[in-house]
Amino acid sequence: MVFAAGVYSPEELASWGLIGRVTAAKFAEGGAHVVVTDVVKAAAEQVALEIAKKYPDRALALEMDVTKEHSVKEAFEMALFSLGGIDVVFSNAGIATSSPIESMKLEDWTKSHAVNSTGHFLVARESLRIMKDQGLGGAIVINASKNVTAPGKDFGAYSAAKAATAQLCRVVAIEGAEYGVRANMVNPDAVFQGTQLWSKEIRENRAKAQGVEPDKIEDFYRQRSLLKLPVYAEDVAEAVLFLASDRAGKTTGAMLPVDSGIVGAFPR
């Protein structure tokens, strides 16, 4: 089991993506051996140690920069050497940049695509190669976003990169099918708790784009949904586990919203 997880935030190790952290723990709880990866190895080690407290010898931490081809390849080779095989990959790395198109810096656009699109390509490509060689099938789950189907104002770099990743997932599903490899995506929205993705700056920028005060942004996102319920990392983790399991053994190329019901984001 490999997790390409984290939020690409070396400044603050404690902010290691809660979605990746919770999902890794859920898989370990289910009996999986988990490889936790992050661009900052200490962040991955923090998560692996938490898992090891309950499930000894069940988690391995590796450094992996999803924007670097050699880093992804080396991490997968080490995971394969350590585990003997890879059954499931959860590709979860992501960053967010908020800016109107007219004032967006090219470096922000480029970095967003490097992590939110190219990073998922490199992870998916390595996963597909290994699973094909193993001849045992497998499951790839990509953390896409509600922005795939419903992009946001002043969120062009993120929305465009995630849309590219969604199309990538569909092509992986097409090409992986003859080898028994399934590829699906989860589309969460507004998971505020425990993630550096929603930094103070992003909260302020998104609040400005939506015309609300920064301290009201969480309630704004909750109230705009049909169910008017907050979305937590645990909710996303359950969706990932389902798509990775035999319960979804006949599902591939699909997206599963975890957004409390955003009408504009209905898959169509």
- Residues designated catalytic: 158
Q: Which residues contact 168 (CB under 8 A, 6 or more apart)?
A: 117, 120, 121, 124, 142
How many whole angstroms separate alpha carbon 121 and alpha carbon 131?
A: 15
* 3-state SS, residue 172: helix
What is the strand order of the sheet 59-63 is part of? 59-63, 34-38, 2-4, 88-91, 138-143, 181-188, 255-258
Burial of 263 (0-12, 13-18, 19+ CB in 10 A): exposed
* 3-state SS, residue 242: helix
How far is residue 256 CA from its own chain's centroid?
Answer: 13
Q: Judge contact between 114 and 69, C-beta under 8 A.
A: no
Q: What are phi and psi of 188, to 5 degrees?
A: -80, 165
Residue identified by tokens 């995971």 is 79
How many whole angstroms separate alpha carbon 25 and alpha carbon 18?
A: 10
Closest CA to 89 of 118, 125, 56, 53: 125
Q: Which residues contact 204 (CB under 8 A, 6 or more apart)?
A: 214
Q: Judge contact between 51 and 14, C-beta under 8 A.
A: no
Q: Which two tokens stand for residue 212?
A: 């609300």
